[in-house]
Structure 1
């Protein structure tokens, strides 16, 4: 886990330099590695989860600036994770990007209706992934 924690001794200048924190959720270790490398390249801190329960807990505990959420997880599906996050006042404002191999239009619409801000198709096109992350963090 790669983490930058903020303490009260930071100056305002240091706070401006603080890297955004992204929670990457995927049950595939290779996909997580790829996301982690990209996030480091674009100056984001990251934490990872490999299942839906962990994703919900980590979002509550760490309050990331963005969640990249695989929609097909072993325990809870992505829609269930989104619904739990959107029902919780502590996590309802965190932008969520659906990361999915399900490319059908109706799947994408379902993810957006559930509360995802955007979606990214697998396999990743790195430039699109980076552009989506930057858009959601700005």
Structure 2
């Protein structure tokens, strides 16, 4: 990283005060039981996974291929999360299938999506042929993972 500091953005969200006994109240209790750092990390991960492709599409500034790449990466992340969640909950993890997008190809060393954009036609064919997930390996998210993944 160069000596220049990155400019920070502020995200203002409405205060959540869910009604007792609702699903959102259960989620609030769960997030409140975690350390502030862990809760923030989980929320950042979910927000990026769910909203980044939508934000890129709506706000512009990126190519259609980059939006498509972000969508495929987000989809792969979501499907991986569901598989890991199934394992954590003791459920049958083979019920779901994932999009075979190699994370190593997701971004090149400069944080761009050029490697994936060039491989898109091959990925489409691979996605149609691969219907089953042969293995699940639980793992931990390291700091900076989302930045490296989405550039």
Structure with higher helix content: 2
Structure with higher strand content: 1
The structure with the largest alpha-carbon Rg is 2
TM-score when scaled to structure 2? 0.25
TM-score when scaled to structure 1? 0.26
